[in-house]
Amino acid sequence: MAGEAVLIAAGGRAILLQIADPAICHGVAHHSDFASRPLDRLRGTLTYVYAVVFGTPEEATQARRQVDHAHGPVSGPATAQRPAYSAFTPELQLWVAATLYDSALRMRDLVYGPLDDAAADALYREYGVLGTALQMPPELWPRDRGAFAVYWDRRLGQLQTDAATRAVARQLLHPRTGPLWLRLMMPLGRFVTIGLLPPSVRSLFGLPWSARSQRRFDGLIRVTAAVYPRLPRRLRHWPKTHCLRAMRQSRELAVV
C-alpha cells in the first residue's frame, strides 16, 4: 500500500491535520520554510516513508538520521500565545504518524474499496513503524484499530487553529513560488485536499465546501477508482522507485 502513488494525493490532508495541532504548527511557523518549499517537504517525507517501509536497515537508519537532523532545532518554550513544542516529543510524533496512516488509508479505501478485517489489522500494526522508527515508543501506538479510532476522535476534538496556523495553511494551499506545473496543478490539489478533510477540520481552517463540491469530489473519486488501479504497477509505484534510487545514488556519491 505504501508504494502506491495515489496516496500522495492525501499528503495535503495529512499536513493540515498535523498543523492543526498548535505545538506542531508553531514549530513549523518558527523553524521551517516548508510552506514555501512544498516539493522539498514532499520529497523528504516520501523518502523517509519509502526508506523505512521498503529500504534496507541501513537506508532506514539513514532516513531516520536525516529526519532527526532536520528536527533538531525545532523546539520552543510555552508562551501566552502558544504551547511548548519540540519535534522530538513522542506524542507529537504519534500524531504525525497517525495522520499519515489515516490519510493513506482513507485515500486507499476510496480508490480500491475497504480492506477485509484481517488485512486492515495487519496493515495497521505495520504502519506504526513510521513513528517508532523515530522517538515514539512502540507502546504509544494504539494497540488496535478500535483503540486508534478512540484516539483519533479524541485528537480531532482537541485540534484548533489560530492566525499562525491559518497563515501556514494559506501558504500551502496557495503557493506563490515553485515550478509552473505545480502552480497549475494546485487548484486540483487544493480541491482534493479540502475534500478529504473531516468536516470539522475544514471548519477550523475556514475552508469552503458545499453539496455541489461534494458531488464534484465524489465524481472525481469514481473516475480515479475506475482508472488508477488499471495502470501498470511500474507507473503506480514510480515515486517510490524514484525516491529510493535518488537516495541510493546520493549515498554512492558520498562514499566516492
Bridge partner residues of 85 (DSSP): 76
Q: At what angle do helices 145-158 and 90-112 cross, to 10 degrees?
A: 110
Q: How far apart are CA 27 and CA 190, in angstroms?
A: 23
Looking at residues 159-187, what average pLDDT do you find?
83
Share of the chain above pLDDT 90, in %: 44
Q: Which of the four pLDDT bands, split at 50, 70 and 90, describes residue 182? A: confident
Tell me, what amino acid is at 247? M
Task: Please give the residue range of the domain that contains residue 238.
Answer: 5-255
* Nearest CA-CA partner of 49 in 125, 119, 108, 100: 100
Where does 29-149 show beta strands of DSSP type E? 75-76, 85-86
226: pLDDT strictly greater than 60: yes
For residues 49 and 195, the model is more confident at: 195
Look at residue 157 and tell me whether its pLDDT is greater than 90: yes
Residue 256's alpha-carbon distances to 49, 61, 204, 253, in angstroms, are 26, 20, 50, 5
Q: What is the pLDDT of residue 253?
A: 43
Report how many domains make up the chain.
1
Q: Is 10 exposed, middle or buried (0-12, 13-18, 19+ CB in 10 A)?
A: buried
User: What is the value of pTM for the model shown?
Assistant: 0.86
Q: For 107-130, what is the mean pLDDT?
A: 90
Using a 10 angstrom Cβ sphere, with 0-12 exposed, 13-18 middle and 19 or more buried, the burial of residue 199 is: exposed
Determine phi and psi for 85, rounding to 5 degrees.
Answer: -145, 150
Spell out the residues 6+ positions from residue 187 whose beta carbon is closer than 8 angstroms to its own.
none
Cell of 203: 471548519
pLDDT at 78: 61
| pLDDT score at 256 | 33
